[in-house]
Structure 1
Amino acid sequence: MLWNEPNNLSHWDFQLDPEWKQFSAMVRLAGEAVRAERPGLTRVLGGTSPIDASFLKLVGSHGALDEVDAVAIHGFPLDWNHWQIHEWPSRLAEITATVRHPVWISEVGVSSFGAEEVQDWGLGRTAELLLGRAPRIHWYSLFDLPRAWPATTRHREAEGSSYYRHFYMGLVREDGTPKPALRRFARHAPGLGICQWFHFEDHRLDAGVKWLEELGVKHLRTGLSWADSYRPGWEAWFDRQMKALEPFEVTVTFCFTPEHRGIRPHHTSPPRQPEEYADFCARMVRRYG
């Protein structure tokens, strides 16, 4: 998967790239590079959030869809989106009517911020509405985000309760105990996959693999950070992570600009040289594809 939520300011600084022309050129280069390394590997445009057909038309006009095999969308109607959960089929249909590519749902989820019973109901309703309608559906996520870690969002505490919902998206609490929705998820696996981001040297990796196997998960989405590839010991961590995830069909998301390679020093910045992102994607595919 090439990038993540490119129409979300928390993941791509479109104030520096207001027409997404730099983004589109970067994705096209990366798609070409991946195809050159592994011609049969499925290349997916990073999931959009919010779901926006006009955005896909725009980047498509810049060539961003020329070197991908699928597009993806993200939806969180019970937490952040301004539409109801029952609208999921029509939201998906709008995108499938817009592009010629298969449409994946690479993140869908419900937080337990207000009540764990809401998450449990929301998972069941999501499965009713979406199973069988998309080639891949990834529930976000397996684990709650540890409260000592920051969430990847642009406003942090200024978002009010919306910010804190980020920490309660998991099926497993921070203390390692399961929530009620975990049992319901198991009834829908492997039709439902999981999206779980493992941070650099994440202490939850081994426990995550154990949970995924117990739940019967087949499809897993995670990430390898371009920015992390400049940390000391990055190769050992990437190797360990990818080795641990071998039992699953893994969609690896390549994203996050190294600060010293961006137009401005931030992980959301367009890179100064988009060829460097394409080279990172090619090297990772060569190593793990």
Structure 2
Amino acid sequence: MVGWSKTNENLSQFDFALAGGGSGLITRALCQPLDVLKIRFQLQVEPIAHGSVSKYRSLYQAVRLILHEEGVKAFWKGHVPAQWLSISYGVAQFWAFEVLSRNAHHLGLSGKWSPLLNFACGSVGGGVATVVSFPFDVVRTRLVAQSDHKKVYHGTLAATREICLREGPLVLYRGLWPTVLQIGPHAGAQFMCYKLFDDLYKYIIGTSRTTLSSSLVAGSMAGLCAKTIIYPFDLVKKRLQVQGFQAARAHFGKHFTCHGLVDCFRKIYKVEGLMGYFKGLSPSLLKAMCSTALHFSSYEMICNLLAYKSR
């Protein structure tokens, strides 16, 4: 169903947007705890290692500590803006990808060029989705990053209002530049790898239909490959998004201050070394595999349902 095919030629642009939004909602609801862990690791300056004096030293230790200090609800911190982020991103990404794919097919650009076509359409779709959804990402990161002992924001609307009044509306797009740099290859690689792994899976089991199992396997592999490629940019984006927000992070260790994309990359390497760019990679890869598998499979199933109803 992802990309043009005879089975989805009766679906409208609204159907693609609806399926994309639904897949974003389902994925976020199930994968939010992994996102919270990833962000906590990404924002920690101290080493993530056993025997260190860091607040978070491993995935297991971090889960236990967050449960002890903040309770189960902490794993869904920032869930409301995160849902708006996922829904708006899913709507824009899949809508743009499907429209571009359909137009490319009508122009006769599919066939042997399909992998490159999927990469290009996925890149453009990811860029459009990023611009549309980015303010929700900033608000979500601030809510996840703040300490329960020193709360600055009390809810999504309050956070948005406080950020705009105290720091200006443009702060809602802080970190957009590294995101734009990462989202092209990331989204492009996701769609290209998904189609390649989906075709490979179907070839191995001897079927021409995309099934739930094929989309889950292809989605998880696509998420693993794409996330590994762009991870340092994702970490830098999170560091930029919490600049000017250090007071609420007093219980999380050292403050990290930088001025722009290049300075952030330079300071991470100077203070934390090369591996500093990959902090939180384990929960991030786990999340990427789960979320991408859910994202594509739920989108496929919703499209199948819409296509069946339109017959």
Length-normalised TM-score, structure 2: 0.24
Higher relative contact order (CA 8 A, sep 6+): 2
Give the number of the structure whose residues are more often strand, by fraction.
1
